[in-house]
């Protein structure tokens, strides 16, 4: 065996094992612009794959591949949870967003996305912005999450925060038998695009708040708003937010905030927030359950933004997005009840709901249905 063949063999022999759960993985290499990207399509049972494109200076291609495979699989569940006619996919661009971006790079990326002919729709994620996709969309129509001026739905944190409010009401109903948030107490971690809007709506509803943020300006903003609304608010530091006497902890900052250390301190009745990947591990869902804390699975609570991005392909319509976002209320109640009846965690119940939707669609799908062009894409 030649040296080249041996090298190629060591690189490729395991490749199908690595991507065993995924339908398709595309490596994109454009020497002119320096673009190196990987697009992973996990499952198109429900429709064409949908998922953002992340740009990150991965230490190795293996690390980038692992990340994109994991994220694409997560999108299959998120799309199923939101009852969208989309499957799961994701892409990563290997590079430093601060140094390696150019209009040409995103146009080249747009051409790769276009070459998949509608099997993959994408938009922003960590490290990429709407401006990058304004460049990409010059080469392809399979882009979403664009600015309103380009036919996009605009700020996704509006439906996301609305979804969190539905999640909080469903949880209140499950725990106390009504959706009245007045005089309940919430501990909000993170007052950014989503957290601020949630805090504001809770103040409107007459709830009491504990809030924290690393950004002093964000704290001042909400304190001022609370004063205007005559609301009750207490600013606490980033450790104290886990130790309050609030009814509900509302994580709206970063992931892995429910971990071995923090879970010891929580004495709330429920955890309901927008942050992605709140649990350090799925085992923490069981720890919460054993402590009598109801956990609203994050990907159900925060699906308002995804609903808007997917819905955009039918033409922007804020009312329709809000109508669909409202389904979070019932979905959460169903998950809470199923978890209780079957003595499983709420994460297991949510995953089970998604898997049932996928199985049901698999039954329905003929090969023709699986490869049909989405109805919004049929222009002739």
Per CB under 6 A, the list member of 8, 11, 15, 254 interacting with ligand NAD is 254
Q: Kindly state the number of chain residues that form the binding site for ligand NAD, as judged by CB under 6 A.
A: 24
Minimum Å gap between C-beta 365 and ligand NAD is: 28
Q: Which is nearer to ligand NAD, 253 or 335 (CB)?
A: 253
Query: Active-site residue 291, yes or no?
Result: no
d(CA 211, CA 238): 9
Q: Which is nearer to ligand NAD, 113 or 321 (CB)?
A: 321
Q: Which is nearer to ligand NAD, 116 or 188 (CB)?
A: 188
Task: Using CB positions, name the residue nearest to ligand NAD.
Answer: 192
Minimum Å gap between C-beta 371 and ligand NAD is: 30
Q: Which is nearer to ligand NAD, 240 or 340 (CB)?
A: 240
HEC-encoded secondary structure of the chain = CCHHHHHHHHHHCCHHHHCCCCCEEEEEEECCCCEEEEEEEEECCCCCEECCEEEECCCCHHHHHHHHHHHHHHHHHHHHHCCCCCEEEEEEEECCCCCCCCHHHHHHHHHHHHHCCCCEEECECCCCCHHHHHHHCCCCCCECCCCHHHCCCCCCHHHHHHHHHHHHHHHHHHHHCCCCCCCCEEEEECCCHHHHHHHHHHHHCCCEEEEECCCHHHHHHHHHHHHHCCCEEEECCCCHHHCCCCCEEEECCCCCCECHHHHCCCCCCEECCCCCCCECCCHHHHHHHHCCCEECCHHHHCCHHHHHHHHHHHCCCHHHHHHHHCHHHHHHHHHHHHHHHHCCCHHHHHHHHHHHHHHHHHHHCCHHHHHCCCHHHCCC
Per CB under 6 A, the list member of 123, 153, 167, 195 interacting with ligand NAD is 195
Per CB under 6 A, the list member of 118, 192, 206, 374 interacting with ligand NAD is 192
Per CB under 6 A, the list member of 63, 96, 148, 215 interacting with ligand NAD is 215
Binding to ligand NAD (CB under 6 A): which residues in 270-309? Answer: 274-276, 302, 305
Candidates 90, 169, 269, 324; catalytic one: 90
Q: Is residue 8 a contact residue for ligand NAD (CB under 6 A)?
A: no
Binding to ligand NAD (CB under 6 A): which residues in 305-334? Answer: 305
Minimum Å gap between C-beta 234 and ligand NAD is: 15
Q: Which is nearer to ligand NAD, 25 or 146 (CB)?
A: 146
Question: Among the candidate windows 15-23, 31-39, 73-81, 210-218, which touches ligand NAD by CB under 6 A?
Answer: 210-218
Per CB under 6 A, the list member of 122, 189, 244, 327 interacting with ligand NAD is 189
Q: Residue numbers of the site for ligand NAD (CB under 6 A)?
A: 156-157, 160, 189-195, 212-215, 218, 238, 252-254, 274-276, 302, 305
């Amino acid at each position: 065996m030649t040296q080249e063949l041996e090298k190629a063999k060591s690189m490729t022999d395991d490749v199908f094992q690595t991507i065993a759960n995924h339908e398709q993985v595309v490596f994109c290499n454009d020497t002119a612009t320096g673009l190196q990207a990987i697009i992973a399509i996990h499952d198109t049972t429900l429709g064409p794959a949908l998922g953002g494109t992340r740009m990150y200076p991965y230490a190795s291609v293996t690390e980038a591949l692992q990340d994109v495979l994991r994220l694409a699989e997560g999108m299959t569940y998120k799309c199923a949870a939101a009852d969208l006619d989309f499957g799961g996919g994701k892409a990563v661009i290997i590079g430093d967003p601060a140094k390696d971006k150019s209009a040409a790079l995103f146009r080249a990326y747009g051409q790769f996305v276009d070459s998949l002919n509608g099997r993959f729709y994408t938009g922003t994620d960590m490290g990429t912005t709407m401006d990058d996709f304004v460049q990409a969309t010059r080469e392809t129509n399979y882009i979403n999450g664009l600015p309103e001026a380009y036919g996009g739905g605009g700020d996704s944190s509006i439906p996301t925060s609305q979804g969190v409010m539905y999640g909080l009401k469903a949880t209140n109903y499950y725990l106390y038998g009504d959706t009245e948030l007045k005089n309940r107490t919430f501990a909000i971690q993170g007052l950014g695009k989503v957290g601020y809007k949630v805090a504001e709506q809770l103040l409107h509803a007459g709830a009491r708040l504990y809030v924290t943020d690393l950004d002093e300006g964000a704290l001042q903003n909400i304190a001022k708003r609370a004063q205007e609304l005559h609301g009750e608010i207490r600013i606490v530091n980033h450790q104290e937010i886990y130790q309050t006497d609030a009814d509900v902890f509302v994580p709206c900052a970063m992931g892995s905030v429910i971990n071995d250390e923090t879970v010891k301190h929580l004495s709330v009745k429920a955890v309901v927030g927008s942050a992605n990947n709140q649990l350090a591990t799925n085992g923490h869902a069981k720890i919460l359950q054993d402590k009598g804390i109801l956990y609203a699975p994050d990907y159900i609570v925060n699906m308002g933004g995804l609903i808007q991005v997917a819905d955009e392909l039918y033409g922007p319509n804020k009312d329709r997005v809000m109508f669909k976002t409202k389904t979070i209320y019932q979905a959460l109640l169903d998950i809470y009840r199923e978890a209780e009846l079957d003595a499983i965690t709420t994460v297991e119940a949510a995953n089970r709901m998604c898997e049932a939707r996928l199985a049901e669609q698999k039954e329905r799908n003929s090969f023709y249905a699986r490869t049909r062009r989405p109805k919004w894409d049929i222009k002739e």
